[in-house]
Chains A and B, each alone.
Chain A
Amino acid sequence: MKEKKRNPSQSDVSLFQDIVLHLDIVVLEREAATGTFRLHGIPPAWWHQFADTADATTVDLSRCSPFLQEYVAAWLHMGSSELSIVEKSGPWTESDGQGGTMTLEAGTLSIGSRQLLFIERMGSGFEQMHTIVQRARERVLAEEVAVKSHRQVETHLLTQLEASEQTKDDLLALLQHLHLAALVLNEQGIITFASHRGLELLGIEASHVIGLTWESVLHVREDDRAMIHEMIRKSLDGERTRVVHIEQPRPIWIELEIHRDPDSPSRRILVLHDRTELHALRQALNEQTSFHDLVGKSSVMLRTYQLVRDVARVDTTVLIEGETGTGKELIARAIHCSSERQRKPFIAANCAGLTDSILTSQLFGHKRGAFTGAVSDQQGLFEAADGGTLFLDEIGDIPQHVQTALLRVLQEKEITRLGEAKPRKVNVRVVAATHHNLSEDVVRGTFRADLLYRIRIARISLPPLRERREDIPLLAQSFLGQISTATGKSIDRLSSSTLHLLMSYVWPGNVRELKSAIEFAVISCKGKDIIPDDLPPEITDASAPSRSPVWVPLAGGDEKSRLLAALSDAKGNRTEAARRLGVSRATFYRRLVELNIQSR
């Protein structure tokens, strides 16, 4: 059916113009004859800024935006069949003539032979869309920045990790290279790392170490364990070390050093130094510098040790001579312990100051009723020491009657208890000791010559300490160790000035006096080292320049004069007189008796 054409009325024209005005668009129609565009209706105000056609209805597009020109050119370039499907231009921006911009979009329409061009100013809808896209892109940019930042952090961390791994590898390599034995403990005391050398030293595999407590790996003595616990707790960072004996899986001596892990203060690094060889060497050295309980490495003592060994090999009686405190009983014990009698009894008896009958009873025993107070049979020391050794100290003080009985025992090897008639066989080695010169006693007639010859088959003379001063540091250190342990005090050493005093003192009481002095000093000591003030006053006073540093016992009348002079100076006070002479009170008394000096 053919559509009937109708000419637009005046009202239609008016309506069209209102619509164009309200839609804020410009409608242009192309004049086919001239190629120019004619404006339809009344254009919006912005159009005049754009097209510069304030009063004209004919528009020259060559004066418009190149964007619009290209769009129109592309439209017109199409064949007539395509004209009706040209897409919109898309938005473009133009100056609004007031310092700002406006966004426009063009469209085309072909109605029959009429070619219409619409230009629209993009309104609030476009602005909303612009805002959304703007925000979306800003967000994408922000995310890219965040991702980049994260990537940088990740790269930094990876670099650090790599460096850390490298450092760890280097340290491990260094540990292995240095052959450093080390264990690392976590805060629970569990081993988290063990160096190869550490495993090698302990003689165990990593699988038997890692994840275990140090106590289950290091098998040490109870007191060492307590000390290591304390060291781990305090961790004075290697300031303290301790040599401990590891019992399992293989016995070794290690010096343990404990450090804080610098990166984690609650973790500990245990450095283990193998001291097994050193310990063995020290032990060997100790054996050279001591013999049983005797300490000393002076040539005279080394000769004495050899003499003891020689004497121990035979079963003869032995006479040990030496001043009081020189260690005569220790020599007797050493002989016994080195001899074949070592598993049998060692009996020591001091013969000084005992009466004839008491000494006889003690040595030979008695029968019940033999004398008043003998309420039961009693064996004597000879019988008690049967098979072993009887040490008779101060044999020079034995009364004559007992000397005779003793001689018979040594000859017959049998004893007769007091109150009994029948002798008893005994197998006893007699080791006698005296501070007397028994030869002089024989001359004086106070000691039987035949007994002397009987007991002096073998003879050992012990030197006084003042004649082996080089042994004083060794002795002092040995006593310090024993006494510190016994008293529970942690005193490590003697100061050099203390040692100097000990070396210069005369030691009339010999080794026994030295031991007493160290005991005194340990009790007095308040620090880690023994200082001169800790020593007994007779030692520190003896060092005063006005005093004679060494008292050399004099024989006969000279010594007697000295003792008398000292007594006189001390106004008869024997203790003071002994102090002034630098001898012990006991020695002083003994000398008084020996020299027949009567004092009140």
Chain B
Amino acid sequence: MIQKKICMLGGFAVGKTSLVRRFVTNVFSDQYRTTIGVTVERKSLVVDDHDVTLMLWDLYGEDEFQRLRESYLRGSSGYIIVMDGTRQSTLDGALALQQTAARTLGPVPFIAIINKADVRAEWEIDDRSINQLRERGWTVLFGSAKLGQGVDELFTLLATQMLKASPPSGVPS
């Protein structure tokens, strides 16, 4: 059994917990409950014929009340950066978090997802900003934890990239 640690990073209320919960239990709640501390969820899936258990570290959203402890990132095989499409400020926070993660973990796979695609008309993050992220080499997906759009694809894609980056023994990289 292959186990991979994935950290969920992003500002507060961008939907990290909702994405994890939708992926793990296929449940969504409209009620916002902020995360303090860390919750670790497990989800097993088959990726490229390998049974993989993802250890999803749902970290608290960073703001003036809580700063990210770099120690929580250690041991991660990849990370997911979550943004809220309706709040431009979450993109600025995402850039800073990605730098911290890259500094701590090195060049591990990561995927950025812009959540709340169900209210696309209200997005503040525009195509120009998204293109700029992609020009930086980011993989940027759109999704909605509320509707379940793009959630499985997000985790599966990252798992695939993590396996590719760090193949299990006997599998050529």
Contact = CB atoms under 8 A, between A and B. Distances in A.
Interface string B29-71: 0001110111110000000000000010100010101100101
Contacts of A144: 87, 89
Interface residues of A, number: 24
Nearest to B37: A91
A50 interface: no
A241 interface: no
Contact of A133 (B55, B65, B124): B65
A134 B37 contact: no
Contacts of A103: 36-37
Interface stretch (A64-72, A388-396, A480-488, A549-557): A64-72
Contacts of B61: 137
A353 interface: no
Contacts of A92: 37-40
Contact of B13 (A67, A70, A130, A137): A137
A140 to B, nearest CB: 8
B75 interface: yes
B110 interface: no
A382 B71 CA distance: 136
Contact of B40 (A66, A138, A140): A66
A542 B39 CA distance: 114
Contact of A67 (B34, B40, B65): B40
Contacts of B5: 66
Contacts of A67: 38, 40, 57
Contacts of A66: 5, 40, 55
A421 interface: no
A70 B75 contact: yes
Given A74-B71, A137-B13, A137-B63, A148 B34 contact: no
A67 B74 CA distance: 11
A148 B75 CA distance: 39
Contacts of B72: 90
Contact of B33 (A105, A126, A129, A134): A134
A548 interface: no
Nearest to B3: A66
Interface in B118-149: 124
Contact of A137 (B12, B39, B55, B86): B12
A65 B32 contact: no
Contacts of A134: 33-34
A70 B72 CA distance: 9
A90 B38 contact: yes
B74 A74 contact: yes
Nearest to A151: B124
A141 interface: yes
A126 B37 CA distance: 11
B124 A148 contact: yes
B122 to A, nearest CB: 8
B120 to A, nearest CB: 15
A93 interface: yes
Contacts of A91: 36-38
A93 B65 contact: no
A136 interface: yes
A136 B89 CA distance: 17
A66 B57 CA distance: 10
Contacts of B87: 144
A92 B58 CA distance: 10
- Which has the most chain A C-beta neighbours within 10 Å: B32, B33, B37? B37
A101 B5 CA distance: 21
Interface in B53-105: 55, 57, 61, 63, 65-66, 69, 71-72, 74-75, 86-87, 89
Nearest to B42: A66
A194 to B, nearest CB: 45
A141 B72 CA distance: 26
B36 A130 contact: yes
Interface string A114-139: 00000000000010011001101110
- Residue from A70, A129, A140, A141 whose CB has the most chain B CB atoms within 10 Å: A70
A141 B13 contact: yes
A138 B36 contact: no
Contact of A93 (B38, B71, B86, B89): B38
Contacts of A65: 40
Contacts of A148: 86, 124
A130 B32 CA distance: 13
A136 B75 CA distance: 32
Contacts of B66: 133
Nearest to A91: B37
A261 B12 CA distance: 53
A530 to B, nearest CB: 69
7 contacts: A66-B55, A91-B37, A105-B37, A129-B36, A130-B36, A137-B12, A140-B12
Given A92-B40, A101-B39, A141-B13, 7 more contacts: A74-B71, A74-B74, A90-B38, A136-B65, A137-B32, A137-B61, A140-B63
| Ranked 6 nearest A-B pairs via Cβ | A91-B37, A93-B39, A92-B38, A134-B34, A133-B65, A92-B37
Interface of A: 65-67, 70, 74, 90-93, 101, 103, 105, 126, 129-130, 133-134, 136-138, 140-141, 144, 148
